[in-house]
Amino acid sequence: MKITSIELSTRYKKSFRRLPPKIQRKAILKIKIFRENPFTPQLRTHPLTGEEKECWAFWVDFTYRIKFIFLNDEEV
């Protein structure tokens, strides 16, 4: 499964700008990996639970993660 379209929320854009440059670079790299294979083990993609049960997330590093929702098989 390849992700062809990623729609970024305003909240994501604002949060991303506040990240340290090193984390921004890591996030960009992880997003590139995510586009090729969203379930590769190195991302540790997982479904969320509770109030966010329609959301998924993958880890940028041990502190930061990116949360997303599948719109269909190719779009998040």
pLDDT at 37: 96
Binned average pLDDT, 10 residues per bin, the chain of 76 residues: 94 97 98 97 97 97 97 93
Listed by start position, the domains of the chain span 10-68
**Phi (first) and psi of residue 59, to 5 degrees:** -90, 135
Closest CA relative to residue 32, chosen from 66, 62, 70, 56? 66
**What pLDDT score does 1 carry?**
81
pTM attached to this predicted model:
0.91
